[in-house]
Amino acid sequence: MNCFYHPDKPAIGLCKYCQRGLCIECAAIVDDVIACKGRHEDEVRQLEQLTARNLFQSRRVASAYNRNAIFYGLVGVLFSGFGIMQYRFLGLQAMFFILIGLFLLYAATANYFEGRKHK
């Protein structure tokens, strides 16, 4: 493949914005990717910033879900464990704790899988 602007020169890469072949003279490096020099440098910079921001945000969302999953999981184990241990003394009232625990464990699992979706 040859340069789009200089058909006699071999292309060294593609502009990330317009996908045209670029020779060493026409290629500008913007944030580790190639852009048409003087034409698409700004566009590629914006494109890169957008992807970087999206990556950052989805990672943040995923870690928030994971934090929630751990929190719900721990409290859920605490509640259901307490309910199971006290079942002999509290009877049906202990079921209340076990149910809350199970509900929290369910919330933890839901958060965990939701977090995995964002990875």
Burial of residue 21, with CB atoms counted within 10 A of its CB: 0-12 exposed, 13-18 middle, 19 or more buried:
buried
Q: Which is nearer to Zn ion, 13 or 101 (CB)?
A: 13
Residue 40 or 83 having the CB closest to Zn ion: 40
**To the nearest whole angstrom, how small is the minimum distance from the Cβ of residue 10 to Zn ion?**
9
Residues lying near Zn ion in the complex (CB under 5 A): 3, 5-6, 15, 17-18, 23, 25-26, 36, 40
**Local structure of 28: helix, strand or coil:** strand
Q: How far is the CB of 30 from Zn ion (least distance, A)?
A: 11
CA 32 to chain centre: 21
Give whichever of 30 and 108 is closer to Zn ion, judged by the CB atom. 30
Nearest to 80 by CA among 96, 58, 62: 96
Q: Which helix (DSSP H) or strand (DSSP E) does residue 47 occupy?
A: helix 41-90
Residue 29: CB minimum distance to Zn ion, A: 13
